[in-house]
Amino acid sequence: MRSRNLIILTAVVAALGAFIFFVERHKPTTLEVVERANRVFPDLDQDTVEAVELQTSQGPIRLAVVNEEWRLVEPIDFPADAAAVRSLLGAIADLDAERVLPLGEVELADFGLDNPVLGVVLLDSEGTRFSLAVGDPTPLGSNRAVRRGSDEEIVMSTGAFVAGLDRGVDDWRSRDVVDLLEHDLDSVEIETAEDQIRAQRVNGRWQLEAPLVDLADRDQMQSLISELNTLRISEFLPVDGDPAELGLDPPAFRVLLEPRNSDPILTLEFSATEEGAQTIVCRRNGVDLFRVSNSIGIRLSKAPVLWRSDEVWPFSSWDVATAEFANTAEEIVVREADGLWQVDEGSEADSGEIRRRLTALADLVVREHDLMLPPTEVMGSVILVLDNDQGAEGLTYTFYAPMEEGGLAAVTVSTRADVMGIDAVTAETVVGDFEKLRSAVESSPAEE
Q: For 81-124, how does the pLDDT look when each residue is reduced to its tens digit (9 = 90+)?
A: 999 999 999 999 999 998 888 988 888 998 889 999 999 999 99
3-class SS letters over 345-387: CCCEECHHHHHHHHHHHHCCECCECCCCCCCCCEEEEEEEEEE
Answer whether 411's CB lies under 8 Å from 310's CB: no
Give 58-65 contacts, CB < 8 A, sequence gap 24+: 58/166, 58/168, 58/169, 61/169, 61/172, 63/172
* Shared domain check, 190 and 157: no
Contacts of 447 (CB under 8 A, 6+ apart): none
Residue 394 maps to which CATH number?
A: 2.60.40
**Omega within 30 of 0 (cis) for the link into 374:** no
42 and 156 belong to one structural domain: yes
Q: Is the same domain home to 290 and 217?
A: yes
Q: Is pLDDT above 60 for 235?
A: yes
pLDDT at 89: 96
pLDDT of 408 above 60? yes
Instruction: Answer yes or no: do 154 and 199 share one domain.
Output: no
Establish if 380 belongs to a structural domain.
Answer: yes
Mean pLDDT of 38-65: 94
Share of the chain above pLDDT 70, in %: 89
Q: Which of 290, 303, 12 lies closest to 178, judged by CA? A: 290
In whole angstroms, give the CA distance from residue 97 to residue 91: 13
Backbone angles phi, psi at 219, to 5 degrees: -65, -40
Asked if 79 and 168 sit in the same domain, the reply is yes
226 has pLDDT over 70 = yes
pLDDT in tens, 348-378: 889 999 999 999 999 999 999 999 999 999 9
What value does the mean pLDDT take over residues 176-196? 93
444 occurs within a structural domain: no
Bridge partners (DSSP) listed for residue 412: 398
Number of domains observed in the structure of the chain: 3
C-alpha 42/C-alpha 152 separation (Å) is: 17
Among 282, 307, 332, the domain boundary falls at: 307
Examine the fold and report which residue of 129, 146, 172 is the final residue of a domain before the chain moves on. 172
Residue 438 pLDDT > 80, yes or no?
A: yes
Residue 353 lies in a domain: yes
362 inside domain: yes
Do both 158 and 192 map to the same domain?
no
151 with 211, same domain?
no
Task: Reply yes or no on whether the pLDDT at 172 is more than 70.
Answer: yes
- Residue 433's domain comprises 317-437
E strand or H helix at 419, and its extent? strand 416-422
Q: Which of 278, 270, 233 is nearest to 251 (CA)?
A: 270
Q: Are 216 and 207 in contact (CB under 8 A)?
A: yes
Name the domain boundary from 125, 148, 172: 172
pLDDT at 443 exceeding the cut of 70? no
Shared-domain flag, residues 206 and 302: yes
Same domain, yes or no: 34 and 165: yes
Domain assignment present for 144: yes
In a domain, 6, yes or no: no
pLDDT value at 263 more than 90: no
